[in-house]
Structure 1
């Protein structure tokens, strides 16, 4: 099949649903309502590669301002791999993010290839699997995020991400069927977290907290609304020892890992207070 018939275009919102379905088939277990939030982040940052108008490859290259971008959804349909289509859509995405420090969460099988494209390892993210259930504490300063000013949530979130991401955040924390909680003490947010339904089970992400105790309060509250028969996932930056300890303490098992990589220097973010990554697809 000639690569001359291959063309890359920007995804539509409907295409996003297909990309999420492909991610599910890859075993990445995306959230049921992720597509809407992803598209809100950067509607021009999602690409689809087609051969004679048949979709064969996807890639997200979401820009956050003029200085940072994040790659995800790098998928080529199995029957079309090895034909150069992946590299063509990859180059299109990097071209879109030209001039920015670009991050990604690389699966083990692709990490050497990413290094060849100039990406450098910063740290590992590890996916833990546990179970739902437990009791929702009546104290601890828990409040639904819907009761808090969005500007306050946005300000708390800012140290945890390289650039402002208000469009994405406003969609993410209020997505359907999700629960978003914050811990507020003396009028200030000391942590927040979101849990959402996925193709299998539920994922907590992000989970951010000023102290291990606040992280524990949020973690227990978020998973309390999930039936004990359902799996709960938490994607932990391995460099945060307290986050690893949280997952271990609650008898969660390692099921997946990625390498957080950047083309430039690793951004200075509050990893010591980041207990759960928002999304492997968009950072």
Structure 2
């Protein structure tokens, strides 16, 4: 490897380049997501630089001492298969250490990730549809801002490998976003967020104890934006109730990814997880 190739921490302004490259690869991006993602771990974003030019990017955020997630792995096309990407990838892995490491990889690259110690555990799918005006009324359904933050965050903690409080607060505070939850007998039983993205809106996360609650929250979210707007829904395929919602509302399958883990896999109540924040941060 040429001595002129170096790896260093990404600057916040350079993360916008990584987002642009991800968009070019067909990875859905939100106009306000970058600031939220960056806050999770500002030290967990890296660039590969050749003769002063950034040719590769990657994120490897530490959620806590036990869990991390990798994403935004892009190498400029003219520099691929020359060893630059794998050197950056290994640097990101070293930064995360012996944590459980998650990621979402395109299906055709699964065997490559196996060679780096990752194991595919299940598949996620992106679906899309057009929003409609739904009747989403019902007992306990309310704006998420009216639910005590401590109750919401405690509920979310049960459904993720590591707390993501700051990330959730940031997503909920985005302009062009709406969020709803269900609280019954002072207990949170589900919540969801819809936020602006490149070509419409994306729902995520959406977590609920039951399929009925998840569908009520979905209807509230999808019905909160102008009718006819494109809505994206990133769901784990091992949650059949989530797939059923996608099919019931006429969603089209866009593409699938493999959820991969290194150093073991977290045990989560996947039957409660209906839509993800995104493929970049899990």
TM-score by length of 2: 0.96
CA shift, 1:46, in A, is: 0.7
CA distance in 1, matches of 2:2, 2:140: 58
2:195 corresponds to: 196
CA distance in 2, matches of 1:180, 1:250: 20
In the TM superposition, structure 1's runs of 4+ consecutive aligned residues that sit over 3 Å from their partners are none
2:244 corresponds to: 245
CA distance in 1, matches of 2:175, 2:77: 32
Classify the secondary structure of the residue corresponding to 1:160: coil
The alignment of Structure 1 onto Structure 2 pairs a total of residues equal to 282
CA distance in 2, matches of 1:140, 1:114: 45
Classify the secondary structure of the residue corresponding to 2:175: coil
What does 1:126-275 correspond to in 2, within 5 Å?
A: 126-275=125-274
CA shift, 1:119, in A, is: 0.4
5+ residue gaps, structure 1, are none
2:32 corresponds to: 33
Is 1:140–1:217's contact at 8 Å kept on the other side of the alignment? no
Classify the secondary structure of the residue corresponding to 2:226: coil
CA distance in 1, matches of 2:161, 2:172: 18
Q: Deviations over 1:41-81 (max 9, x none)?
A: 10101111111221111100001111111000000111221
Q: Deviations over 1:8-47 (max 9, x none)?
A: 1111211121211111111011111110110111010111
CA shift, 1:136, in A, is: 4.3
CA distance in 1, matches of 2:87, 2:15: 19
CA distance in 2, matches of 1:83, 1:176: 41
Is 2:136–2:217's contact at 8 Å kept on the other side of the alignment? no
Classify the secondary structure of the residue corresponding to 1:31: coil
**What root-mean-square deviation, in Å, do the aligned CA atoms of Structure 1 and Structure 2 show?**
1.3
CA distance in 2, matches of 1:15, 1:151: 34
CA shift, 1:232, in A, is: 0.7
5+ residue gaps, structure 2, are none
CA distance in 2, matches of 1:115, 1:140: 47
